[in-house]
């Protein structure tokens, strides 16, 4: 089976993903359709692809890499993609393909490629001189001197210092923002969807009208599903969380309303009324070590299938 290509020293990079997408496009040209939602501030593509019919009446969204240091989620999604495509092609009696009938899977494997690059390469990974200067200024301000190594490894934000998972219109105005300026983490931005990446994800969601969404994060090995939803939406989201929890072994967390607002899952529930989950992979601090990937991949086998069969 073809394996995605993690970087030897950096972890799974934007360039690894580009290469893997090119390989999948050549191997499965009639099954996977790849495009871009636009370019980031540092001119990296926001790759998006779908499997199934573009006009399918029922669709799901799976994405990862919205936080720079959580790039293992992108590696996981690309590995899941490879396995799913292989199963679709290898199943001789087409039983496996039946779960995709009338449905489509939309995927954004790396929502924040600029942030991933900063986490892996530091400010030197940014090509635009103005953005590079901003990243260096943030580092100097937050470190007291030019930080080395571990400071950049823990970078969550995009290249403008905005935490993309606090940049959605879900009680954004009440979201606690202790930093109130561009930062390595936690700055919610000047307004909801102020960033190219968060706006692209929201526009995709509005356009495709998904029935289920999954946001992959790391770490914690838990599933967040609760954000003020009521009635049938709450029941559906809980049932979805329990199903995915049974597959992964991760514990669905109730009473998570104190979690910071402004996240994609929060917005998808509150404004779009879509049963949506945040899945936190791994049990160590991000960026997760490469040694834990195989275990995480095995835990998340079946998540795509379980999501497709949850509605």
The pLDDT confidence band at residue 23, using thresholds 50, 70 and 90, is very high
d(CA 171, CA 67): 20
Residue range 3-31: mean pLDDT, rounded? 86
Starting at the edge strand that comes first in sequence, how are the strands of the sheet with 251-253 ordered? 32-39, 45-52, 103-108, 58-63, 212-218, 276-281, 222-224, 251-253
Count of all residues that appear for the chain in the document? 311
Percent of the chain's residues with pLDDT above 90:
86
- Predicted confidence band of residue 4 (pLDDT cuts 50, 70, 90): low
Nearest to 40 by CA among 157, 170, 173, 148: 157
Q: For residue range 261-271, what is the model confidence (pLDDT) as tens digits?
A: 899 999 999 99
The rounded distance, in Å, linking the Cα atoms of 11 and 6 is 5
d(CA 166, CA 37): 20
Measured CA to CA, the distance from residue 145 to residue 58 in angstroms comes to: 51
146: confidence class by pLDDT, cuts 50, 70, 90: low
Query: pLDDT value at position 93?
Result: 60
């Amino acid at each position: 089976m073809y394996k995605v290509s993690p970087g030897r020293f950096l972890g799974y990079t934007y360039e690894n993903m580009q290469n893997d997408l090119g390989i999948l496009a050549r191997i499965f040209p009639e099954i996977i359709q790849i495009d871009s939602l636009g370019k980031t501030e540092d001119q990296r593509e926001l790759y998006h692809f779908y499997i199934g019919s573009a006009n399918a009446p029922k669709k799901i969204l799976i994405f990862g890499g919205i936080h720079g240091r959580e790039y293992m989620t992108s590696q996981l999604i690309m590995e899941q993609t490879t396995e799913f495509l292989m199963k679709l092609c290898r199943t001789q009696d087409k039983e496996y393909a039946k779960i995709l009938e009338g449905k489509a899977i939309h995927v954004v494997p790396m929502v924040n490629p600029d942030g991933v690059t900063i986490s892996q390469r530091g400010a030197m990974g940014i090509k635009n001189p103005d953005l590079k200067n901003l990243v260096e200024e943030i580092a100097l301000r937050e470190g007291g001197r030019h930080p080395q190594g571990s400071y950049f490894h823990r970078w969550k934000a995009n290249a403008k210092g905005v935490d993309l998972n606090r940049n959605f219109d879900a009680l954004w105005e009440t979201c606690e923002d202790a930093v109130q300026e561009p930062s390595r983490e936690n700055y919610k931005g000047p307004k909801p969807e102020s960033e190219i990446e968060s706006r692209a994800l929201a526009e995709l969601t509005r356009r495709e009208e998904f029935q289920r969404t999954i946001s992959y994060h790391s770490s914690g090995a838990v599933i967040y599903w609760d954000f003020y939803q009521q009635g049938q939406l709450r029941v559906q989201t809980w049932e979805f969380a329990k199903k995915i929890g049974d597959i992964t072994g991760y514990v669905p967390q109730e009473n998570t309303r104190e979690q910071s607002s402004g996240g994609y899952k929060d917005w998808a529930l509150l404004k779009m009324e879509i049963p949506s989950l945040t899945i936190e992979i791994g049990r160590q601090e991000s960026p997760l070590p490469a040694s834990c990937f195989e275990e995480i991949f095995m835990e998340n086998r079946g998540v795509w299938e379980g999501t497709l069969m949850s509605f």
